[in-house]
């Protein structure tokens, strides 16, 4: 018999991401809950994402588990969010009161690129590195600026 829920942990720009494949229902929700609990206990992160792009179906027990996991994550000081659900999964999550779990990854990427100084040009004049010694000697004249 094939697994009803397969999980895969991978790194994303927004933080660790737990990818789920299959169905999230009353028979499989404990598996996801246990995996998230391990992440919260062993990784020092501020965000955990659950990628549902390969999840085929979710029921009330699955949505309840997602909501409870978010509460558990908040107790650890971690934000937990759900990304990329298929339309039927998104509809079920919203219908069962879990719409606030959904995260738009385009918005997260935009915020991260705004915070990342390497992603935008510097508007400051160049300065010399602080670890260089100032030249000195008989023929040295200090610049006027």
Q: Domain of 22? A: 5-104
Establish if 55 belongs to a structural domain. Answer: yes
Q: What is the dihedral of CA 104, 109, 114, 116, to 10 degrees?
A: 150
Establish if 124 belongs to a structural domain. Answer: no
Quote the pLDDT of residue 132. Answer: 55
Establish if 115 belongs to a structural domain. Answer: no
Neighbour tally for 76: CB within 10 Å = 16
Establish if 127 belongs to a structural domain. Answer: no
Dihedral over Cα of 34, 40, 45, 48: its sign: positive
Quote the pLDDT of residue 14. Answer: 87
Residue 118 has pLDDT above 60, yes or no: no
Instruction: Look over the chain and give the mean of its residue pLDDT values, rounded to a whole number.
Output: 83
Domains in the chain, number: 1
**Calpha distance 85→21 (Å, rounded):** 11
Q: What is the mean pLDDT of residues 48-53?
A: 96
What is the H or E stretch that residue 39 is in? helix 29-42
Establish if 9 belongs to a structural domain. Answer: yes
For 58-79, how does the pLDDT look when each residue is reduced to its tens digit (9 = 90+)?
A: 999 999 999 999 999 999 999 9
Q: What is the mean pLDDT of residues 41-65?
A: 95
Residue 121 has pLDDT above 60, yes or no: no
**Calpha distance 141→70 (Å, rounded):** 63
Establish if 142 belongs to a structural domain. Answer: no
CATH number at 19 reads 3.30.750.24
């Amino acid at each position: 018999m094939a697994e009803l829920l397969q999980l895969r942990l991978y790194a994303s720009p927004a933080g660790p991401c737990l990818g789920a494949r299959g169905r999230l229902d009353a028979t499989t929700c404990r598996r996801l809950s246990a995996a998230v609990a391990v992440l919260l206990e062993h990784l020092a992160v501020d965000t955990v994402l659950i990628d549902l792009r390969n999840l085929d179906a979710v029921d009330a027990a699955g949505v309840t588990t997602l909501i409870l996991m978010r509460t558990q994550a908040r107790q650890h000081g971690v934000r937990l969010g759900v990304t990329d659900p298929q339309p039927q999964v998104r509809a079920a999550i919203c219908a069962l009161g879990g719409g606030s779990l959904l995260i738009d990854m385009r918005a997260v990427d935009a915020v991260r690129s705004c915070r990342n100084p390497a992603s935008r040009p510097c508007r400051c004049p160049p300065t010399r590195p602080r670890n260089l010694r100032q030249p000195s000697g008989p023929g040295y004249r200090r610049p006027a600026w």
